[in-house]
């Protein structure tokens, strides 16, 4: 019970800090313009939900307080370069590399070619999203090992279920394992896929929660990055198709339909192969779009304060109050979405894997027939 109270209080504080933090970030971004009319809302929105080479903390006395991150770049002109992101901030140049200020490579590390054209080098830098992904992985490992430590030191049969964080982890693990994985894949094969699916669930859930927190080490838009969701979808795609049984492939390559639908023109095979590709694509887009839309809507609501600033104090004050009320509602909804999206991704992955492990059914014939 105490653990649930702490979690509830943490969620309430998260909502409050989210509103204050997002408003503060937009105020700092808007302060760079000379008037409310100069505020570029679109630039601020995409700037806050996009990736970056440094982890911006706050502004203090007009100075950007940013944690520099390592940049690892390979250029055809200068070879490999490893440096901190602070070397190329504020218009600085390092080894011929610099940040593009506009154009198609805006905010990315580029170099000038022989004809003056901007060239994008091979870039494997540790960006903000990558650093947040690593932090989420370490946090997940710490939570799992901390829960496992309780079971090594206690006898759950005699002492009962654990309390605190270990009890919360047990509840969520059993919920996902029994209600999703075991129910979708079946008693025979679910243990093989449980480690992967549980890891996916907690990774997405923790990433979504950290994305709502507007201050370090939160604020990164990890699951709102389509590259991350693409990798997760590819992992599910491989788990489905590499370990699919012969009945699964038979239904794709030679389904039980009339012959003219599969030979000589492979109509059903084409449809099945299209479905094979569309499943991971839907997983990728669904998670990306929902998380990205949630962040954009919250930032958009806060930006209304600055858009209506030129309409007078009465309208601006009214819209500020409405924005804060809807902002609190949207943040509470985002907490729910953070769990739902992790749940849905794991559920669909379990269903797809379960379909690939189904055995061929043989209808029982009655004794009288």
pLDDT tens sequence across 45-61: 666 677 889 988 877 77
| 117 cis-preceded (ω within 30 degrees of 0) | no
- pLDDT of 279 above 80: yes
Helix (H) or strand (E) holding 2: helix 2-30
Sign of the CA dihedral with 333 first, then 293, 226, and 54 last: negative
- pLDDT of 38 above 60: no
Do 28 and 83 contact (CB within 8 A), yes or no? no
Do 19 and 328 contact (CB within 8 A), yes or no? yes
Residue 31 structure tokens: 């302060």
Question: What is the rounded distance in angstroms from the CA atom of residue 133 to the CA atom of residue 223?
Answer: 9
What integer pLDDT is reported at residue 181 of this predicted model? 95
Task: Name the maximum alpha-carbon separation found in the chain.
Answer: 89
Task: Compare 120 and 64 and report the one with higher pLDDT.
Answer: 120
Question: What is the rounded distance in angstroms from the CA atom of residue 82 to the CA atom of residue 69?
Answer: 11
SS3 string, 105-173, reads CCCCEEEECCCCCEECCEECCCCHHHHHHHHHHHHHHHHHHHHHHHHHHCCHHHHCCCCHHHHHHHHHH
What integer pLDDT is reported at residue 352 of this predicted model? 95
What integer pLDDT is reported at residue 229 of this predicted model? 95
Give the model's confidence band at 278: pLDDT under 50 very low, under 70 low, under 90 confident, else very high.
very high
What integer pLDDT is reported at residue 35 of this predicted model? 47
Question: What is the rounded distance in angstroms from the CA atom of residue 282 to the CA atom of residue 303?
Answer: 31
Do 55 and 218 contact (CB within 8 A), yes or no? no
**Angle formed by the axes of helices 2-30 and 41-49, nearest 10°:** 140
Instruction: Give me the residue spans of the domains in the chain.
Output: 70-125, 128-356
- pLDDT of 122 above 80: yes
Strand order in the sheet with 97-99: 97-99, 109-112, 118-119
Per-residue pLDDT, averaged over 53-81, amounts to 87
Question: What is the rounded distance in angstroms from the CA atom of residue 257 to the CA atom of residue 253?
Answer: 11
């Amino acid at each position: 019970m105490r653990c649930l109270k702490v979690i509830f209080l943490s969620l309430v504080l998260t909502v409050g800090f989210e509103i204050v933090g997002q408003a503060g970030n937009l105020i700092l971004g808007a302060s760079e313009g000379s008037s409310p009319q100069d505020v570029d809302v679109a630039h601020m929105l995409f700037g806050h939900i996009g990736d970056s080479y440094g982890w911006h903390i706050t502004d203090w006395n007009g100075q950007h307080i940013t944690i520099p991150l390592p940049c690892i770049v390979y250029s055809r002109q200068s070879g490999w370069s490893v440096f901190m992101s602070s070397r190329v901030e504020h218009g600085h140049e390092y080894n011929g590399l610099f940040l593009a200020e506009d154009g198609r490579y805006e905010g990315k590390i580029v170099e000038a070619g022989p004809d003056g054209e901007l060239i994008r080098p091979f870039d494997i830098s540790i960006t903000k999203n990558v650093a947040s992904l690593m932090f989420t992985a370490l946090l997940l490992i710490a939570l799992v090992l901390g829960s496992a430590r309780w079971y090594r030191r206690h006898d759950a049969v005699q002492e009962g279920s654990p309390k605190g964080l270990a009890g919360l982890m047990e509840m969520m693990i059993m919920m996902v394992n029994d209600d999703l994985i075991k129910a979708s894949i079946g008693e025979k094969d679910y243990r093989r896929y449980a480690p992967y699916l549980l890891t996916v669930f907690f990774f997405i859930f923790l990433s979504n929660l950290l994305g709502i927190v507007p201050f370090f080490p939160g604020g990164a838009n990890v699951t709102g990055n389509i590259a991350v969701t693409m990798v997760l979808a590819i992992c599910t795609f491989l788990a489905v198709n590499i370990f699919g049984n012969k009945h699964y492939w038979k239904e794709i390559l030679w389904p039980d339909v009339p012959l003219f639908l599969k030979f000589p023109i492979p109509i059903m095979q084409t449809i099945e192969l299209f479905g094979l590709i569309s499943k991971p694509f839907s997983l990728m887009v669904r998670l990306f779009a929902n998380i990205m839309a949630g962040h954009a809507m919250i930032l958009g609501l806060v930006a209304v304060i600055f858009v209506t600033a030129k309409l007078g104090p009465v309208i601006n004050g009214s819209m500020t109050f409405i924005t804060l009320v809807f902002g609190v509602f949207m943040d509470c909804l985002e907490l729910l979405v953070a769990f739902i999206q992790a749940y849905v991704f794991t559920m669909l992955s379990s269903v797809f894997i379960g379909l690939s492990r189904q055995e061929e059914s043989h209808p029982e014939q009655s004794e009288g027939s």
